[in-house]
Structures are given as structure tokens and as C-alpha cells.
Amino acid sequence: MTNQLQNRLIMVLGMLLALLLVVLLLLVMNTARGSSPLAVTPAAASPIPESRSLFIGNSYTGYNNLREIVSEVIERSAPDWGPVTTAAVTPGGYTFTTHQADAARSGTRLDDLLGHPWDLVVMQEQSQTPGYYEDSTQKRSSLQNGARLAESIEGTGAHIMLFMTWGYQGGDATNPDIYRTYPMMQERTSAGYLDLADAFSGAIGEPVSIAPVGTAFHLIYDENRSVHRQLYAGDGSHPSLAGSYLAALVISVSYTGQPVSAISWQPSGLNNNVGAYLREVADRVVLARERPAGPFLWDE
């Protein structure tokens, strides 16, 4: 074998070895990236600078000025999305049916707000309704009128996100057959929001996502009953400041796909250790999907 041929073989072998090393390095990097429990899905939502969000619900959304907490969390955890402008329509006891009636009536606040462009509209149903039986009047009305409301919202250009709520702390004594305990009510409520998302998505022909706040409540119930009790106001139904903060964290991560564990901001008066735990839970539920959750904005 001539020296020239030997040199060529050595060069080829060297190139093959270098290529093999590059492939191995890429495999190692990909494995390390995939092993992170809070890794953001690669197709996460694209930033929307100066995003505009509208909240449609009742007192569950109105308590503790949730929309402002959401703004604060987004601007700190996903600065490319800020500043965030928000508005809310949250009369006590309102359902999707009563909101749809307002949206269809000229001159109401909701009718006026739906005449403006929005990037995100967060819809929250009355707390008992999603988990009712499919053939109940309340559930049928929620599905039908909520879908009509979603069609009205579609004209604003917004993505629709459903705010999945939580079961009552001690269950619902008025519906003992389906809501006797917190876990029973939470499981039915969570499943009910999936029904709503499917119905609304079918009505508008676009994906409707879910902010799984109730799922985060349930995870905390299973892990730390003391903190779970702290999520409720005195009536065992409405959110305390901690409960509203958890809701804001989950909504923020569900919208932007950006983790909140690294931020330190929390509402004044909230225990630091509790606040840090709630931020961790929001990331675990939405990004790590430790419990079944979604669909999210970035799901295909």
C-alpha cells in the first residue's frame, strides 16, 4: 500500500471518528435536556409583547383581584410577554349562560369589551356546573351557551383558555351523590372542564386550552393538607389570597409556557415558604405534567 493511499485512509477514518463523536455529543445533550422535570415543551407558545387578557367569570375570578396577580406573574416570569393589559367581568354567581345573555345584549359591559381585540380570554364557569350529569339542565345549558359565548369571543382574535376551578374544601352538601367529598367534586369538575373544552373547540374550529388550577389544588390536597386548607377563604369555597396566587401561577404557565419557580414575587402577606411551594406546584402540574393536564396552547 502506497504512503498516499495510507494517508487517505487515515484521513477518512479520522473524519468518521469526528462525526461519531459529534453524534454522541448530540445524543448526550438531548438526553440531559429531556431529563429535566420542568423542561418546557419545544413548541411552547410564542411571546406576545404587550398582551391583552380578558377574564370572564364570577367571584372565583374576581376574588383578590386575580387578573392583576396574573399580570404581575407574567411580567416577572415571561418579560417578553409584558406589559400585560387586563380587564374582567366577574359578577357573583354568573354562569356561561348569564354571560352569553349579556354578550348578546347591546350596551352591556361584556358586549362592549368583546368589541375590542384580545390576545387571551379566560373563561370560568360557576363552580358546581361542570361536574353535573350530562343530562342535567345546568350542564346542557353550560355546554350550549358556553359554545355560543366562545363563538362571540372568536371575533376578538383571542385564544380561549378555560379556568378549571376546584372542589369545595369539604365537598358540597347540596349535591352529596356527586360532590360528597373534595376529591369527588374535584374529579368531576376536572372532567367537566375537558367536556367544555371539547365542545367549545368544536364550535369555533380552533383549539381551546385549559388552565388546570383544580388539578394543582388536587395535587396539594394529596401532598399537604395544611397548605390545601390555606387555599380557601373562610367559606371553604372561594379562594384565599394563596388560592388566587396559585390560580394566577397556573394561568401564567399555561399561557406562556414559561416556568414560575424561579421568580420571587408574591402578594404581600403570603408566607414565603408557601409561596415558593405554590410556584413549584404550578410548574409541576403544567410543565412536568405530574398529573393529567391540558390541553395547552402549545399542544398539537
Residue 184 belongs to a domain with what CATH number? 3.40.50.1110
Query: What is the model's pLDDT at position 33?
Result: 34
Query: What is the model's pLDDT at position 243?
Result: 98
- Residue 43 resides in a domain: no
Residue 240 has pLDDT above 60, yes or no: yes
Digit-coded pLDDT (tens) for 88-111: 999 999 999 999 999 999 999 999
Strand order through the sheet with 159-163: 85-89, 52-56, 120-123, 159-163, 209-211
- Residue 25 resides in a domain: no
Query: What is the model's pLDDT at position 2?
Result: 53
Of residues 44, 33, 38, 124, the one with CA closest to residue 78:
44
Digit-coded pLDDT (tens) for 196-239: 999 999 999 999 999 999 999 999 999 999 999 999 999 999 99
Contact 125, 196 (CB under 8 A): yes
- Greatest distance between any 2 Cα atoms in the chain: 94
- Residue 32 resides in a domain: no
Query: What is the model's pLDDT at position 8?
Result: 54
Percent of the chain residues topping a pLDDT of 90: 78
Query: What is the model's pLDDT at position 76?
Result: 96
Query: What is the model's pLDDT at position 46?
Result: 76
- Residue 34 resides in a domain: no
Digit-coded pLDDT (tens) for 119-172: 999 999 999 999 999 999 999 999 999 999 999 999 999 999 999 999 999 999
N- to C-terminal Cα separation, the chain: 57
- Residue 238 resides in a domain: yes
- Residue 265 resides in a domain: yes
Domain that holds residue 276: 52-286
Of residues 152, 167, 162, the one with CA closest to residue 61:
162
Contact 220, 231 (CB under 8 A): yes
Digit-coded pLDDT (tens) for 165-204: 999 999 999 999 999 999 999 999 999 999 999 999 999 9
- Residue 10 resides in a domain: no
Contact 227, 277 (CB under 8 A): yes
Q: For the chain, how many structural domains are there in total? A: 1
- Residue 7 resides in a domain: no
